[in-house]
Amino acid sequence: MAALSFELAGVDSNSKARAGVITTDHGVIQTPIFMPVGTVGSVKAVTQQQLYSEINAQIILGNTYHLYLRPGVDVLEAAGGLHHFNGWHRPILTDSGGYQVFSLAENRKITEQGVLFQSHIDGSRHLFTPESVMDIQRSIGADIIMAFDECPPYPSEYTYARKSMELTHRWLDRCFARLAETPDKYGYTQNLFPIIQGSTFPDLRRASSEYIASCNATGNAIGGLSVGEPEEMMYEYTALCCDILPADKPRYLMGVGTPWNILEGISLGVDMFDCVMPTRNGRNGMLFTTQGVVNIRNKKWATDFSVIDPSLDCETSRYYTKAYLRHLFVANEILALQIASIHNLAFYLWLVKEARLRILAGDFDSWKKNIIPVLKQRL
């Protein structure tokens, strides 16, 4: 079938925000977009039916590291790929596992060849190389697959960051080479996105952005941010990368972030975002709403019988009251996790949809400036 394509539908005149349409073999994605994280093939506490009908997710993430360990490539291949395994028939993106190898795995040893590590589940030993990670992602069968990279921590020494970036670039070449040697497994096209690294050093970020831009991939990613650096620094390097990346390809800022991070990222020219925040924080009782941030465990909500967020086109947000959701959290009911996760994801999808409408309407920048203080306020 066809490689991923990207059409710009509109650009904002007062910022670098863009509205676009990504077309994949599993359907289109209207950008800017937020991608719910489904690490092991399930967005935590949310059914696929709810992702389709309540959240209106257009694309979800899977994670190569987790899916390789459980259920494993044999099961995924026998199923005919992740779409058939989990019943999500819209686009899927898989992270390469690079980030997880560094954040989760034990006793990792990094060499030119790849990374030797022990599973965080059972201590078993595994080797990830650019080639093996491409092969695993072939078996998973996501529409968008990510290059195998090293994501240095913040802060990093300049020398380490430079060597790491250079290794990531050599690994990227091997990823592209391996992908070219191996056919699509399930009859549709998989698209490799390379990842910019370079930590928080302008010359490294610039060099990495130029290298990644030169690959002429169908889309490009900005990695190594949102790893503990100050917010302003994240925006600064996002801007630097966006300005070098080609304008006619989608740009993906990995692992970002809060609602306001996403709006700022959009204004800098980012098209795609993912983050565990809506689900993870939701499971801890933190709700993002069109009126501001709610800590639903707070006693003040005990007799607030208003619905969670009447402004969202999501049945869950408009059906359950704050008082009921607070009760479910206090009583440790599983339904609390479900409602909070569905609501927060519906909010994130509303946010990027609204941003897109504002870009197309021409008032994105002023809308963004007005809404960020509202979204940030603690209710």
* Minimum distance of its own copies from residue 321's CB (angstroms): 8
Nearest to 20 by CA among 264, 248, 223, 268: 248
Residues in the chain: 379
DSSP alpha helix (H) spans, the chain: 48-50, 64-69, 73-79, 82-86, 98-103, 130-140, 158-181, 202-214, 231-244, 259-267, 277-283, 315-319, 322-330, 334-361, 364-376
Residues 25-44, mask of contacts with its own copies (x by CB under 8 A): ---------------xxxxx
Dihedral (Cα; 232, 165, 259, 335), 10-degree rounding: -140
Measured distance CA(33)–CA(221) in Å, rounded:
14
Measured distance CA(131)–CA(192) in Å, rounded:
13
Paired with 325 in beta bridges are none
Nearest to 144 by CA among 109, 107, 195, 110: 195
Measured distance CA(89)–CA(67) in Å, rounded:
17
Nearer of residues 199 and 338 to its own copies, judged by Cβ: 338
* Minimum distance of its own copies from residue 289's CB (angstroms): 18
Identify the DSSP state of 216.
Answer: -
Q: Is 149 labelled a binding residue?
A: yes
* Minimum distance of its own copies from residue 86's CB (angstroms): 6
* Minimum distance of its own copies from residue 47's CB (angstroms): 6
Quick check: bond before 71 cis, omega within 30? yes
Q: Among 86, 156, 164, 238, which residue interacts with its own copies (rule: CB under 8 A)? A: 86
How many CB atoms neighbour CB 64 within 10 A? 28
Measured distance CA(226)–CA(186) in Å, rounded:
34
- Whether residue 338 contacts residue 223, with contact meaning beta carbons closer than 8 Å, is answered with no
316 near its own copies, judged by CB under 8 A: yes
79 near its own copies, judged by CB under 8 A: yes
* Minimum distance of its own copies from residue 76's CB (angstroms): 10
Reply yes or no on whether 74 is catalytic: no
Residues numbered 331 to 360 that lie near its own copies (CB under 8 A) are 331, 333-335, 337-339
Nearer of residues 271 and 309 to its own copies, judged by Cβ: 309
Q: Token pair 């003040």 is at which residue?
A: 300
Catalytic residue among 143, 271, 274, 309: 274
151 near its own copies, judged by CB under 8 A: no
Nearer of residues 16 and 84 to its own copies, judged by Cβ: 84
Residues 252-291, mask of contacts with its own copies (x by CB under 8 A): ----------------------------------------
Q: Is 97 labelled a binding residue?
A: yes
- Whether residue 172 contacts residue 145, with contact meaning beta carbons closer than 8 Å, is answered with no
152 near its own copies, judged by CB under 8 A: no
How many CB atoms neighbour CB 56 within 10 A? 14
The tokens describing 284, both together, are 């801890």
Catalytic residue among 12, 95, 271, 309: 95
Q: Is 197 labelled a binding residue?
A: yes
Reply yes or no on whether 95 is catalytic: yes
84 near its own copies, judged by CB under 8 A: yes
303 near its own copies, judged by CB under 8 A: yes
* Minimum distance of its own copies from residue 53's CB (angstroms): 10
| Segment near its own copies (CB under 8 A); pick from 26-34, 68-76, 130-138, 346-354 | 68-76
296 near its own copies, judged by CB under 8 A: no
Q: Is 38 labelled a binding residue?
A: no
Q: Which residues does 323 contact at the CB level (< 8 Å), separation at least 6?
A: 301, 302, 303, 304, 305
Annotated binding-site members = 95-99, 149, 197, 224
Q: Rule CB under 8 A: which residues touch its own copies?
A: 40-49, 66, 70-71, 74-75, 78-79, 84-87, 302-303, 305, 315-316, 319-321, 323-324, 327-328, 330-331, 333-335, 337-339
> Looking at the annotation, which residues are catalytic?
95, 274
Annotated binding-site members for substrate = 95-99, 149, 197, 224
